[in-house]
Structure 1
């Protein structure tokens, strides 16, 4: 009976985590759409909806700690709960960065736009959102190998950041009118780059879930911590 209750609780944790992930994915998409379109209404929506993401993280953490205290799980069961707690914290931070992008939209004061950079930011956002969606899928399927592949795609996100940085700095030097807007572009690209890092963190927790080892993914180091 107790085992059945525990399995129901685990299933509930998974479902809540996945729901939280979908909200986060939507927030990333909407925040960049708002920024590119200069749509403050969508931006305010992203900020308002972040409360729901925060509440889900609190619920997940509370339930996880409760399950550890009452059920005293070991081995795989404990790894599942730890993964949910750690990965939901990373999801919450992704949501925070989506809010930061939305706030950048609200700050924009109709400054000179650099269309080529905005297009590149849109492409970068697509790559980041795909990482978020893919990592949720890998989590549900407990697919460690896929998680490792997803982490590799963070290098594509980093390449976008460098390209946007170089394009923006060049334009700012050539056209002083773009300096204020260009600063926003650099900030938004930075937020997106950090989202890629947090997705990589979640990939590492998926690998931990399956193997019990914490691997450093997408770096030049081959550390492995037991």
Structure 2
């Protein structure tokens, strides 16, 4: 008998497909929240910022549902090998995507405060570039996890260096501006907070990319674990 024809097998893979769709939905929601939060920043639009804050609740609910589904499948189906890695990874990925939403809310809350500041918004092309790169990392990371593409997962981690460099550039630009003109300090501090949250979103995308590598290769690359595990005496 073909095991794929058994009811339990079909039910498991139906649940697996539903969980995959939940992760895709969460990724789309998270990316949309980050995009809307950045629109709010650049336009100093408190209404758009409030929309981000309100929408985060739906992402929170989906994260809980995805985690409950994955835990239920672990408990009832006792999967092995790749399916086991996928379910464990899915729990981590759903948590990371929920945290992306939290960082979008942080950006939105900064925007609400910025809307009350009278000083002009400094021109920061690097901030727009940083947002674009962080969202691309998020999209690629989820794609890598769903497809089990280790190479793409590793590429996401490498892209994080570029986002970190942009964060450093923004920090230096705003720090210099605050020293030259103390009047921009309130606005600059909020923009630094925005940049920091974008940097953290890129870090979360990197986490998802690392889970994609583990799914594809059964190898942990967090904290360079794969290198140090093979060479335990390496500093």
Q: What range describes the TM-score normalised by the shorter chain of this pair?
A: over 0.9
How far apart, in 2, do the equivalents of 1:167 and 1:208 lie? Answer: 38
> Runs of 5+ in structure 1 lacking a partner?
none
Indicate the SS of the match to 2:184. Answer: helix
The structure number with the bigger radius of gyration is 2
Q: Equivalent residue for 1:205?
A: 211
Q: Equivalent residue for 2:178?
A: 172
Matched, 1:87 2:93: yes
How far apart, in 1, do the equivalents of 2:94 and 2:228 lie? Answer: 24
> Runs of 5+ in structure 2 lacking a partner?
1-6, 231-235
TM-score computed with the length of structure 2 as normaliser: 0.91
Q: Equivalent residue for 1:156?
A: 162
Indicate the SS of the match to 1:205. Answer: helix
Matched, 1:137 2:121: no
Aligned residues: 223
Instruction: Judge conservation of contact 1:44–1:102 (CA < 8 Å) in 2.
Output: yes
Kindly report which structure 2 residues correspond to 1:1-226, keeping only aligned pairs within 5 A, or say none: 1-108=7-114, 109-117=116-124, 119-216=125-222, 222-224=227-229
Q: Deviations over 1:10-62 (max 9, x none)?
A: 01100110100000000111101101110111111111110111001000111
TM-score computed with the length of structure 1 as normaliser: 0.94
How far apart, in 1, do the equivalents of 2:229 and 2:146 lie? Answer: 24
| Structural RMSD (CA) | 1.7
